A and B are shown apart, each in its own frame.
Chain A
């Protein structure tokens, strides 16, 4: 055969084969790369690292557990086992025989058991057949019944037989077991000894890299049951807003944050905090007895963490405050709340940047942005502008509380957000920026009423004040509207424009003043005479003015450096009223006298309460306040109004409705003063002064600020960052602006006009938000509140404080916050700012944390309406003011306290009459405990003691004031109810089980109390009963209460309705002398000056 001719090809086969070989290998390699890319994930590294940490820790624990002592014990046990085994070996024949016997019986038992079970199964089937036959009335029903009965009997027999066989088998087994019992016992002991180590070893296998580990986590096999996997919590009722629908949250944060819900990985700081908390709880018996041991172990663990060589860093940390957040027993368990419901961020993401982590500062952003390096904490972070809900940065974490807790005034564990909310209320953010939620609705206007400004101060002062309030008082809440960054800052505004702006700002300041004084009422106030400034000064310090007011503008830092005070040098409560410095410069003394006497006479919304000052007192205080002068301020130069600027501004408003020609004509017809008043009205409108102050002519106008109700949900691109990248705040701190929403809001609060930098804008288009001179902390708190105002809808079950009882409590809290009760009282565990100024704790106003359960609602109602109905501690100089509450306002507070104390509002216990025996016994106990030392029992005794600080409320007032159940409870554990109270703890707790120990149990038998003992004996059957009663704290305190119940009257004076004229109270007439005149019905007479 001829060899076949070579086939002609278009391509060289060899080349094609080569290409084929190379490309196939390339395909294989890229496929491998594809699998690899899919396999290598950032979170796996974290999980691997966490496994390593766990392994290390377990190994450490094993090392500690397997100490020398345990090893010795094990060796001993092993020796004993060997001895026992030798013994068995000696009697091998007998041992084997018994073994064989036992096994034989085992076989028999097996057979008998099977027989029984089979027969039983047949019987059950037969029962069914029989029942069927009976129901269907089959012909063979009778036969079947008989058959069934027979079988049933057979089964019974088999059962008896089985029992016999079982007994025999057990006996045989026991005989055989005798030989091995000892060895078994020893082995049990052994495993008991090693139990802890065994458990740890078992744990160790779950975190070790063994052969399983590699197979389970191998690429392409890791779909079966890998160690490394995405961890997630599905939250069915917490939704991610997908714009068209809500999708249940799937939080995958725990994929990297492995230890978030596991104790033992706390940071050192958190561990120290927790240790302190747990220890103080232990000391105060606040831990259930059965949990004490666990708590001790936990404290040990926390100590170990603090002693560790390195702090644990995120993502491996345990969540702080595990008992409040994330922990399964906390109010926010992870299974119900997850992570992103509070923190926000992208719930399903498993990469650092995509998860929505938000840097807290430029520095952190820079560090995060660098590549990926765990040790340097670089995460390859990039801003994701399309993520609608990036996480809250660290300083604004508590913003996450707001969406569920918006119905609460104070949030437990949310001090920052509580403070921020209070700040928003006090500083009046809500006045210009509408916030439609419960917390910020129905609040009084934050600034004083200006309809009568001419009665109170002078235009010269007002001009300087409006121009720059902070120059007058460094702590004022009145923000600065004028001469701000976008108007006069030489770095921002070029020279010519700056000069024009200054002129225009001058004109506006003058115009506002002109308008206010032009429209002001001019009632004549008659002041007091003969005031003594020194007396006044001591009155201000003693009657309670300093709860709401501060009288100094200097602040001493810790190092002893004295500087000008800032607002947050003082508690918020003390900033509630204005700083009293400079009052003399500002105020008209006649007006001031009347204001002190009756603030509501000046305007009905006045936040200042009535301290029931006598005319003399008011005159003294007036005299004192008038000595608080700031003459420098009045020396500040005031530039005259530039007529051109005034014209230009007035015209700029006129031409909104008029043509240029008409506007000119109109201007010509107006005098300079008319122009000023006209411009003033427009300027007040422009800056929105009327939002905070009541000003004549601006009723019903809408606030000028952007609504903030859902500000926290606003997308990043809706914020105008302008051209600003950094700015120098009023306190000289240079701050960087991040391109994030929190940073924008923060910057807006710190330097409101910074967005105008480098922009070309008309005068009126420039930003108008005033500068509140907020400190960093204040700005952060307010930013948190604003960020928390979102449109997220929360399932009603997860809304805090939405049940009716909570609503009552919260309404009360809102009122408490509004009336600044915390200036003097502790409420819900915090407050009493006045304590800063009163050194003797015995002279402090009371702690009202347990007020509801303490006092009767009826009494409280009367007392709030008119505090003069009862004087508990006549030696106090601080006065409970009269707030002139309406009945409704009073009820809000009374129901609040009752609900907060979880007691019913009204009861009949006041009318209970204790039996004579209880009273007699109680009196003896009263004497034995020497209550009389501090507590007077009658009105005469109240003033007996000179040492006021050691006195306690008179007990004759108890019956009409205190609750029946309260007295014994209070006597038993005063220090637990109000920590630090002066009431001594007569019944200490047993440190072991927390029971009360009665000191009388021993005392009754001491010779010192012989008289009391003999006095008590008649009321008891025998001495044993007496001794038993004397050691029973509950019984003793009940007797004591019954005695106290008899001390005072059962009825009290009630408050009379408020006088009708109160709200419109006006000054006394010019002619009548005001000093020495009793507070009578004021006469209504308003004089208007001029116009």
Chain B
């Protein structure tokens, strides 16, 4: 038991859990949705990366080794399961296994303290709901894809076009939903009371001080970005980007029915952003961030006194001081030259990509849609990139101009 707990605690470190979730996402897409095989080019590449991770971990760091092993294990598991994961029976198995794991975890006092907290119950529920509905949608998409590949039509099209009565088919069921939901809400509010707490005291803020659960993803972003980016620019782009989707995504296929193959980029990007970059960060912020915003495994005691060294470093320091052995130039323009260049390069990627790599999209979408879409995509990807830079090089800021409070 302790072994399993330690194993889970180790895997839920900020970098490990993020990497694991990202690759799981990749595995599911590759092996379960796109019928990929291990003995294919992609499969072999993944395998190679996994072996690299394991061997590298064995030499350099134990957690990475554990991560590598888990990577390989889950890769083979998902490759073995393949599309069978969409079978109802397998889905049920997964649900049962996860529920049992969750239930057993509740026996652990630390886990219970965090997961059993009334505030956190909806998030625990969200994990299950999110998983279930994602599984359901992908299952339908896969079935349709298979049917269409076999020359058939999507399931939704087979449903009759005949008309139904408002009463009872609509109103009655809506009323039932209303009643049942009311019952659930009342029971919930009775079971998990919301107490009136003490008067707010500016000198005694709770530690950890957490945003409302739906903002925890944003709060998690603050770990990696300057507030103006994480708190202003990125949220704005998220909202704008979501609004822009219908105008960017003009792919007519998949309308009115579930399908993955017909819109694998659109769905892939969206699901990655929503599941990994948003929902997962919320879950992280809720369950794994403890006092002083330190990372704690799910079975770890939230020790107020835990100290983690703050040794992150700026790109300018990395280049000027460490690599070139010089003091930092006084003028910020020179000091931050490399960082600025790097950021400029990143922002200049869309036109470059239009020629190599993304040419296909450029031609399909047209210039305007392509540039907006790629820009938004790059912005989205800046988060995982920054996260990896932090984990790999302890990189604090790529550009830091304290003089004007401008940090990237």
**B190 A27 Cβ-Cβ under 8 A:** no
**A16 B173 Cβ-Cβ under 8 A:** yes
**B186 A243 Cβ-Cβ under 8 A:** no
Interface residue from B183, B201, B206, B207 paired with A26 (Cβ < 8 Å): B183
Residues of chain B within 8 A of A37, CB atoms compared: 190
Which of A257-265, A383-391, A551-559, A925-933 is the contact stretch?
Answer: A383-391
Which of A7-15, A825-833, A885-893, A986-994 is the contact stretch?
Answer: A7-15
Say whether, besides A386-B197, A386-B198, A388-B198, A16 and B172 are in contact (CB < 8 Å).
yes
Residues of chain B within 8 A of A20, CB atoms compared: 172, 175-176, 179
Residues of chain A within 8 A of B172, CB atoms compared: 16, 20
Minimum distance in angstroms from A327 CB to a CB of chain B: 31
In the complex, what distance in Å separates the CA atom of A384 from the CA atom of B199? 13
Interface residue from B169, B175, B204 paired with A388 (Cβ < 8 Å): B204
Interface residue from B168, B175, B206, B207 paired with A13 (Cβ < 8 Å): B168
**A23 B183 Cβ-Cβ under 8 A:** yes
Interface residue from B180, B182, B195, B203 paired with A715 (Cβ < 8 Å): B203
Question: Please, what's the 1-or-0 string for B185-226, where 1 marks a CB less than 8 Å from any CB in chain A?
Answer: 011011000010111111110110000000000000000000
Any B CB within 8 A of the CB of A717: yes
Any B CB within 8 A of the CB of A413: no
**B198 A387 Cβ-Cβ under 8 A:** yes
- CB within 8 Å of A: which B251-306 residues: none
- CB within 8 Å of A: which B159-175 residues: 162, 164-165, 168-169, 172-173, 175
Interface residue tally for chain B (C-beta within 8 Å): 28
**B179 A10 Cβ-Cβ under 8 A:** no
- CB within 8 Å of B: which A371-390 residues: 384, 386-388
Interface residue from B164, B173, B179, B199 paired with A27 (Cβ < 8 Å): B179
Residues of chain B within 8 A of A100, CB atoms compared: none
Name which of A23, A242, A346, A388 has the most chain B CB atoms within 10 A of its CB.
A23
In the complex, what distance in Å separates the CA atom of A481 from the CA atom of B86? 74
Any B CB within 8 A of the CB of A30: yes
Give the A-B pair count, Cβ closer than 8 A.
Answer: 73
Minimum distance in angstroms from A413 CB to a CB of chain B: 32
In the complex, what distance in Å separates the CA atom of A346 from the CA atom of B195? 14
**A16 B176 Cβ-Cβ under 8 A:** yes
Minimum distance in angstroms from B201 CB to a CB of chain A: 5
**A8 B162 Cβ-Cβ under 8 A:** yes
Any B CB within 8 A of the CB of A1081: no
In the complex, what distance in Å separates the CA atom of A717 from the CA atom of B198? 15
Minimum distance in angstroms from A917 CB to a CB of chain B: 76
Any B CB within 8 A of the CB of A24: yes
Residues of chain B within 8 A of A346, CB atoms compared: 198
Say whether, besides A20-B176, A20-B179, A386-B198, A7 and B165 are in contact (CB < 8 Å).
yes
**A34 B164 Cβ-Cβ under 8 A:** no
Q: Which residue of B lies closest to A242 (CB)?
A: B199
Any B CB within 8 A of the CB of A171: no
Name which of B173, B189, B198 has the most chain A CB atoms within 10 A of its CB.
B198
**B168 A16 Cβ-Cβ under 8 A:** yes
Residues of chain B within 8 A of A13, CB atoms compared: 168
Any B CB within 8 A of the CB of A196: no
Interface residue tally for chain A (C-beta within 8 Å): 29
Q: Which residue of B lies closest to A30 (CB)?
A: B186
Residues of chain A within 8 A of B176, CB atoms compared: 16, 19-20, 23
Interface residue from A10, A24, A30, A715 paired with B201 (Cβ < 8 Å): A715
In the complex, what distance in Å separates the CA atom of A11 from the CA atom of B164? 11
Minimum distance in angstroms from B176 CB to a CB of chain A: 6
**B186 A34 Cβ-Cβ under 8 A:** yes
In the complex, what distance in Å separates the CA atom of A16 from the CA atom of B174? 11
In the complex, what distance in Å separates the CA atom of A7 from the CA atom of B164? 9
In the complex, what distance in Å separates the CA atom of A13 from the CA atom of B176? 12
Minimum distance in angstroms from A6 CB to a CB of chain B: 12
Say whether, besides A31-B186, A33-B186, A10 and B164 are in contact (CB < 8 Å).
yes
**A9 B197 Cβ-Cβ under 8 A:** no
Question: Please, what's the 1-or-0 string for A224-247, where 1 marks a CB less than 8 Å from any CB in chain B?
Answer: 000000000000000010110000
Minimum distance in angstroms from B366 CB to a CB of chain A: 42
Name which of B190, B199, B200 has the most chain A CB atoms within 10 A of its CB.
B199
Q: Which residue of B lies closest to A19 (CB)?
A: B176
**B165 A243 Cβ-Cβ under 8 A:** no
Q: Which residue of A lies closest to B305 (CB)?
A: A723
Q: Which residue of A lies closest to B162 (CB)?
A: A8
Q: Which residue of B lies closest to A722 (CB)?
A: B305
Interface residue from A34, A243, A387 paired with B200 (Cβ < 8 Å): A243
Residues of chain A within 8 A of B207, CB atoms compared: 717
Residues of chain A within 8 A of B175, CB atoms compared: 20
In the complex, what distance in Å separates the CA atom of A30 from the CA atom of B180? 11
- CB within 8 Å of A: which B125-146 residues: none
**B206 A34 Cβ-Cβ under 8 A:** no
Say whether, besides A23-B176, A37-B190, A243 and B183 are in contact (CB < 8 Å).
no
In the complex, what distance in Å separates the CA atom of A26 from the CA atom of B189? 15
**B183 A30 Cβ-Cβ under 8 A:** yes
Minimum distance in angstroms from B250 CB to a CB of chain A: 34
**A23 B180 Cβ-Cβ under 8 A:** yes
- CB within 8 Å of B: which A701-759 residues: 715, 717
Question: Please, what's the 1-or-0 string for A13-52, where 1 marks a CB less than 8 Å from any CB in chain B?
Answer: 1001001100110110011011001000000000000000
Say whether, besides A11-B173, A243-B199, A24 and B179 are in contact (CB < 8 Å).
yes
- CB within 8 Å of B: which A287-304 residues: none
Q: Which residue of A lies closest to B179 (CB)?
A: A23
Residues of chain A within 8 A of B187, CB atoms compared: 30, 33
**B204 A715 Cβ-Cβ under 8 A:** yes
In the complex, what distance in Å separates the CA atom of A19 from the CA atom of B178? 12
In the complex, what distance in Å separates the CA atom of A242 from the CA atom of B162? 64
**B169 A11 Cβ-Cβ under 8 A:** yes
Name which of B197, B201, B206 has the most chain A CB atoms within 10 A of its CB.
B201
**A388 B201 Cβ-Cβ under 8 A:** yes
In the complex, what distance in Å separates the CA atom of A33 from the CA atom of B180? 16
Interface residue from A7, A31, A386, A387 paired with B206 (Cβ < 8 Å): A386
Minimum distance in angstroms from A18 CB to a CB of chain B: 10
**B202 A243 Cβ-Cβ under 8 A:** yes
Residues of chain A within 8 A of B165, CB atoms compared: 7, 9
In the complex, what distance in Å separates the CA atom of A717 from the CA atom of B206? 10
28 pairs, A vs B, C-beta closer than 8 Å: A9-B164, A9-B168, A9-B169, A13-B168, A16-B168, A19-B180, A20-B172, A20-B179, A23-B179, A23-B180, A23-B183, A24-B179, A26-B179, A27-B179, A27-B182, A31-B186, A34-B186, A243-B202, A354-B195, A384-B198, A386-B198, A386-B206, A387-B198, A388-B199, A388-B204, A715-B201, A715-B203, A717-B204
Known: A16-B172, A16-B176, A37-B190. 19 other contacts (CB 8 A): A10-B164, A10-B169, A11-B168, A16-B168, A16-B173, A23-B179, A23-B180, A23-B183, A30-B187, A31-B186, A33-B186, A243-B200, A386-B197, A386-B198, A386-B201, A386-B204, A388-B201, A388-B204, A717-B207
- Shortest Cβ-Cβ A-B pairs, 9 listed: A30-B186, A23-B179, A386-B198, A26-B183, A242-B199, A10-B169, A715-B204, A23-B180, A243-B201
